[in-house]
Amino acid sequence: MQTTETVSTAHADLDTLSPADMARRFITEQQGAVAAALRASDQIAAAAAAAAPRLREGGRLLYFGAGTSGRLALLDAVELVPTFSWPAERAVASLAGGPGAVHQAVEGAEDDAALAERDLLALAPTPRDVVISIAASGRTPYAMAVLRAARPLGALTIAVVNNPGAPMIGLAEHAIVLATGAEVIAGSTRLKAGTAQKIALNTLSSCLMVLLEKVHGNLMVDLKATNAKLVARAVDLVVRLTGAEQCTAARTLQACALEVKTAVVALQCDLAPDDARARLAARSGSLRRAIQDPL
């Protein structure tokens, strides 16, 4: 039984509600998404622990999904670039139906297993890569075919589903099961199921970025300062981490190509930008070790 397709008798009066009551009903139900993601926290953590070593070796995050799941995957992949300076070519999202499916539903594409295999093989996955396949039902042919094709190639496989017992669970090395149950509008998994997927993907990729030294404490020290707001945020980070005057922090940050970690090491260790960058590289990008390690 696919619980995401269950018709909930609790919401049979939906079309009789006032707009205020209807809004409260939809929002209240979203709490189930948080609860489902929290129940899956150990699964998310295990997937992150397995994925991090592969990404340290230069691997990629390769996301696959259809419809809402594919669009959420794309959102997660795209946001890693400005937030953590993660290379765009190392976070790739493939949607069933191609790029056009972002703006217009291509519903039949989710049933095309051959298309899924072609989309995967076009990326030439290796054992260093991490393949994340997402489907609320857990039985979408496109999402299942991706996992079947990725396993023999040695890539780490992660499934994100919303139905316990779904076939995709057995096809992946790591399964994240978000048991969100019936939706307010029966079968509309863009609601609670989609919210839970967003939480899970956010959590998985954020855990990975922390494990990969992209965060210091809880500070976004690897952000890509591509506009005035982010440059100001980068300067504030350098001030906070070094105690330097605003003008000194801004000048050093500019000399360090707007790289927050490089600027912090340069100021804390009295190094030229190139030497600060080399010190970080020798410590796998860890700002904490670069500052504290005397060698």
Q: Could you give the angle at the alpha carbon of 18 between the alpha carbons of 14 and 22, nearest 5°?
A: 50
Q: H/E element holding 158?
A: strand 156-161
What amino acid occupies position 273?
P
Q: H/E element holding 80?
A: helix 67-84
Sequence-separated (6 or more) residues with CB below 8 Å from residue 128: 54, 55, 57, 58, 59, 60, 155
- Helices 246-255, 260-269: inter-axial angle, 10-degree rounding: 110
> Residues 273, 260: contact at Cβ < 8 Å?
no
> Residues 100, 131: contact at Cβ < 8 Å?
no
Sequence-separated (6 or more) residues with CB below 8 Å from residue 95: 65, 66, 70, 71, 73, 74, 101, 102
Angstrom CA distances, 64 to 112, 225, 249, stand at 13, 28, 41
Classified as helix, coil or strand, 284 is coil
Tokens of 276: 């600060």
Strand partners, 157: 131
Active site positions, annotated? 79, 110
